[in-house]
Chain A
């Protein structure tokens, strides 16, 4: 079956209540077009995991699509906080399991290796651990190291149903290049049941085969390939385009307030039929060209 599909079809493969892991970090390489389409299709009751909470997760939470968030904290860098995530935690409408960046990464790593659990030095002595023990006792435990007899904190593997990853380029099978730092994306994809890849460009397999050392995601783990230029807007994709400060500021102003965020969604999610209309709405070709990355700087 061909893997290259439209965004709508890829998103429709996600069931209500699924656990999805998202590729964003703060305001970089966020699966924004994907999040907008999840909201348009009305997919709900999701569990979302992410090493550091980002704009894609925050938007899904703000739209009421998420029941449970497993993350290592997060922000929109200097633009602001994850206001929707924070508001949902404060009002108790979101079950948030808060870790550190490395502890979520280690949980993905354990998942990617098929290990039963993974020891970690982080979290001990913190209230993060105290809260995790209260909330989800089964995901953290201690064991004795059989070699040294030292007691270790151990974490359960984290195995999302679907990884959703925004990449620079891939081929039709989903063999994907991620340029720049990959944060948790490698372990996330390999821990997950399958991956949806959203690429700025789908390139010929021959091009991938010429430089296979750039591949981070093997196509054999990928169920859907979606070619979607500017799919991470208003966040950045390294070597492709910069973040759109004005649109992020607009998002931040709407965040955390039910009415203001609803108006934001009405304008940018429900008010447009698809990604193409969204790109027109945010300024079309001229605006997008102004965000294009300088090839030397990467932004």
Chain B
């Protein structure tokens, strides 16, 4: 069955989530991936949104977290302190699921600005709950477009820390957890257990290793064998297309 790169990204994201987990999610593809996981292998997963929403069951696609469409049929409607405080800061969020403008080889994520923070720059969104999630979740998963300007040797601004300067730098900053993988429209990356450098885990069918590397802003670690990413199942595609994002707002 034919599928788009965004659909494979959403399916790959869903595979990172396990049943019974608590998952903190932002807007866009992370939301699609989480809803897909919940409707397939992880029915008892709880999806939480930073503004105070637990486990909603949207029937219409929303424009973002502020849209009551994404709060529909929630089990709890509360607050930042409730979700980001008593769940996330308390250590009860298993997976944080984030998108971003730029990520570097150590998984540091930028959603704040593009350019030179002390000179010319364009300010974008900033953190929202992203920094909190990246700092406090047991692990984080990123979803981004695969472009040289998005996968950078170093980012313009570290909004949400990954492994900071690599090695033990994240631990030394007092942080546990860290990014476990980066899902792009060409490949999935993990992080080397010691150096914490980004390392290719799999490449999506239809891409070559050369193409994946040439369209990045840095050279990732390349293991001896690089498998292809598993393709989406017809049922996963049906759920995305017919139930989760029928207007194709997020899965372009």
Measuring CB to CB, which residues of chain A are less than 8 angstroms from any residue of chain B? 25-28, 51-54, 71-75, 77-79, 81, 85-86, 89-90, 98-103, 105-106, 109, 120-128, 131, 150-153, 180-187, 235-236, 238, 242-243, 293, 297-299
Complex alpha-carbon distance, A98 and B126, angstroms: 8
Complex alpha-carbon distance, A51 and B51, angstroms: 10
Asked if B249 contacts A78 (CB within 8 A), the reply is yes
Q: Name the distance in Å between A172's Cβ and chain B's nearest Cβ.
A: 26
Asked if B52 contacts A182 (CB within 8 A), the reply is yes
Partner of A28, one of B66, B130, B164: B66
Task: With CB as the reference atom, state the residue of chain B lying closest to A108.
Answer: B81
Asked if A25 contacts B161 (CB within 8 A), the reply is no
Task: With CB as the reference atom, state the residue of chain A lying closest to B163.
Answer: A125
Partner of A126, one of B121, B122, B125, B158: B158
Q: Name the distance in Å between B207's Cβ and chain A's nearest Cβ.
A: 28
Measuring CB to CB, which residues of chain B are less than 8 angstroms from any residue of chain A? 27, 49-53, 59-60, 62-69, 71-72, 77-81, 84-85, 88-89, 111-112, 117, 121-132, 135-136, 157-161, 164, 169-170, 173-175, 249
List 11 A-B residue pairs with CB atoms under 8 Å apart, sorted by A's residue number: A28-B68, A78-B64, A100-B132, A102-B89, A105-B80, A125-B173, A125-B174, A125-B175, A180-B77, A182-B78, A187-B79
Partner of B80, one of A152, A183, A238, A299: A183
Q: Name the distance in Å between A17's Cβ and chain B's nearest Cβ.
A: 25
With contacts A101-B84, A127-B158 taken as known, whether A53 is within 8 angstroms of B89 at the C-beta atoms is no
Asked if B72 contacts A297 (CB within 8 A), the reply is yes
Asked if B85 contacts A105 (CB within 8 A), the reply is yes
Q: Name the distance in Å between A148's Cβ and chain B's nearest Cβ.
A: 12
Partner of B125, one of A75, A99, A184, A243: A75
Task: With CB as the reference atom, state the residue of chain B lying closest to A54.
Answer: B66
Task: With CB as the reference atom, state the residue of chain B lying closest to A182.
Answer: B79
Which residues does chain A contribute within 8 Å of B129, judged by CB atoms? Answer: 72, 100-102
Asked if B79 contacts A25 (CB within 8 A), the reply is no
Task: With CB as the reference atom, state the residue of chain B lying closest to A101.
Answer: B129
Complex alpha-carbon distance, A235 and B112, angstroms: 24
Q: Name the distance in Å between A231's Cβ and chain B's nearest Cβ.
A: 17
Asked if A72 contacts B69 (CB within 8 A), the reply is no
Asked if A75 contacts B135 (CB within 8 A), the reply is no
Complex alpha-carbon distance, A76 and B38, angstroms: 27
Q: Name the distance in Å between B96's Cβ and chain A's nearest Cβ.
A: 12
Asked if A106 contacts B112 (CB within 8 A), the reply is no
Which residues does chain A contribute within 8 Å of B68, judged by CB atoms? Answer: 28, 180, 236, 238, 242, 293, 297-299
Complex alpha-carbon distance, A105 and B88, angstroms: 13
